[in-house]
Amino acid sequence: MTLLNEYLGLMAKTVDPFGGVISKFIGDGILVTFNAANVDEDHAANAVRAALEIQKRLDGYAFSNGIQLKTRCGINTGKFVVGAVGTENRLLFTIHGDDVNIAARLEQLNKEYATYILVGENTVLKAGDDFSFRELGQVIVKGRSSPTKVFTVDG
């Protein structure tokens, strides 16, 4: 638990400067939103910047027990619903939508592509020219019938 809390704290400090808001912790995973809690016209680029900074921060970083960790990031831009969900006795702030699911699938696809950051086409189109994106192909992600273009970004 000490390692997990140290890791999650470092990740929170890393995404905060880019306007990322942690929507939930899922085990050792983090769901970070941009342009949900606060309006950010540059949200796609800030999400990519945050992912690149995560990789930079973790490169060679040893936590207090000496362990080094790697983090996979899936980034997708699109429509979503955000708000409190649950019961009258327990509400959680969360985000839902097809584009959120695509981001989750991209995170998982990093294993297949041996990458640490995968980005959807909508993000590539909205992020601007400050990044070096490389198309890796098209995949049909779980839960969808149409192909999704997959990109990685070089830091």
Superfamily for the 2-154 domain: Nucleotide cyclase, GGDEF domain (3.30.70.1230)
pLDDT at res. 39 = 83
> If you search the block for the tokens 């921060």, which residue do you land on?
57
Short-list 127, 120, 126, CA closest to 146: 120
> Digits of tens for pLDDT over the chain (155 positions)?
999 999 999 999 999 999 999 888 888 889 999 988 788 899 999 999 999 999 999 999 999 999 999 999 999 999 888 878 899 899 887 787 888 889 999 999 999 999 999 999 999 999 999 999 999 999 988 878 889 999 999 87
> How many alpha carbons fall within 13 Å on the CB side of residue 80?
21
The Cβ of residue 140 has, within 10 Å, a number of other Cβ atoms equal to 11
Residue 52: CB partners within 8 Å, gap ≥ 6?
Answer: 117, 153, 155
The domains of the chain are located at: 2-154
| Measured distance CA(155)–CA(125) in Å, rounded | 17
Do residues 38 and 32 make contact, with C-beta atoms less than 8 angstroms apart? no
The predicted-structure confidence for 55-92, as pLDDT tens digits, reads as follows 999 999 999 999 999 999 999 999 888 878 899 899 88
Closest CA to 138 of 118, 154, 123, 153: 118
Instruction: Give the ranges where the chain is alpha helix by DSSP (H).
Output: 2-15, 43-58, 98-113, 121-127
pTM of full prediction above 0.85: yes
